[in-house]
Structure 1
Amino acid sequence: MAFTDKEVEKIKNEMDSFIEKRRPPENIRNQVDLFFKFDKQSIVIYEIRKRFQRDDMIDIPIAKATYVMKAKKWKIYWQRADLKWHLYKPKQEVTAIKEFIRVVDEDRHGCFWG
Structure 2
Amino acid sequence: MEEKLGGIKAALSNKGQGKVWNTVENLELSTSFDAMAFSKEHLRDIESSLTIWLAIRRPEEEIRSKLDLGYTIKGQDLFLEEIRPVFKKPGEIGRYPFAKVKYEKTSELWKIYWMRGNLKWYAYDPKPVVDKLELALEEIMRDQHHCFFG
TM-score (norm 2): 0.73
Cα deviation per residue 1:85-111 (whole Å; 9 max; x = unaligned)?
A: 111111110000010010001100000
Match of 2:111 in 1: 75
Moved over 2 A (4+): 51-54
2:57 pairs with one of 7, 22, 29: 22
- Indicate the RMSD between aligned Cα atoms, in angstroms: 1.0
**Aligned residue pairs, count:** 114
1:42 has 2:73 as partner: no
Q: Supply the distance in 1 between the matched residues of 2:95 and 2:57 (Cα, whole angstroms).
A: 16
Aligned residue in 2 for 1:63: 99
Aligned twin of 1:95: 131
Q: Which runs of 5+ in 2 are unaligned?
A: 1-35
Higher relative contact order, chain-length normalized (CA < 8 Å, sep 6+): 1
Q: State the distance in 2 between where 1:67 and 1:7 align.
A: 11
CA positional deviation for 1:52: 2.7
Q: Distance in 2 between matches of 1:37 and 1:58?
A: 13
Q: Return the offset for 1:5.
A: 0.4
The normalised TM-score by structure 1 is 0.95
- Residue matched to 2:24: none
- What are structure 1's unaligned runs of at least 5 residues? none
Can you list the C-alpha shifts for 1:61-82, whole angstroms capped at 9, x where unaligned? 1111111111110111000000
Aligned sequence identity (%)? 34
Deviations 1:32-59 (A, max 9, x none): 1000111101111000111234321221
- Match for residue 12 of structure 1? 47
Aligned residue for 2:98, secondary structure, equals strand
Tell me the residue number matched to 2:33: none
* Partner residue, 2:87: 52
C-alpha distance in structure 1 between counterparts of 2:146 and 2:51, whole Å: 22
Instruction: Determine the C-alpha separation between the residues in 1 that align with 2:135 and 2:65.
Output: 30
